[in-house]
């Protein structure tokens, strides 16, 4: 993780499965999961078994330069220019394909993440409530 790589699928899928089995209520929000198509496919299987269909997927869209600025401003020791660049490369290779995966299912809602915090909140709320 410190190098900007993703946690292995089996670890993350196991954690999500455990949490969903332990107490997913009627409504829940997953933030940062899934991050790859195999994780999305595993989530689909879990949700079918739990009879908990996925209603909406919200993608926060932020311009690359702004992303880099935000990541470097967090002040974490592992947020170096090299690590940030690797995180964005990993995103393009492993996570970006999820946009088409969910778009094809009619679940994807894009939100401009470059707006103010209040505006992003309102846009995400509207996307979720409109599903």
* DSSP code string of 81-100: HHHHHHHHHHIIIIITHHHH
In angstroms, rounded to a whole number, what is the distance separating the alpha carbons of residues 25 and 46? Answer: 14
pLDDT in tens, the chain (131 residues): 566 677 889 999 999 998 888 876 667 889 999 999 999 999 999 999 988 889 999 999 999 999 999 999 998 898 999 999 999 999 999 999 999 999 999 999 999 999 999 999 999 999 999 87
* SS3 label, residue 120: helix
């Amino acid at each position: 993780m410190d190098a900007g790589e993703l946690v292995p699928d089996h670890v993350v899928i196991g954690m999500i499965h455990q949490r969903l089995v332990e107490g997913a209520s009627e409504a829940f929000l997953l933030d940062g999961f899934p991050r790859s198509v195999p994780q999305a496919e595993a989530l689909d299987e879990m949700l079918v078994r739990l009879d908990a269909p996925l209603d909406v997927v919200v993608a926060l869209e932020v311009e690359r330069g702004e992303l880099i600025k935000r990541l470097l401003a967090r002040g974490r020791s592992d947020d170096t220019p090299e690590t940030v660049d690797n995180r964005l490369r990993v995103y393009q290779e492993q996570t970006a394909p999820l946009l088409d995966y969910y778009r094809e299912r009619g679940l994807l809602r894009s939100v401009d993440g470059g707006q103010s915090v209040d505006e992003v909140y309102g846009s995400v709320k509207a996307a979720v409530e409109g599903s």
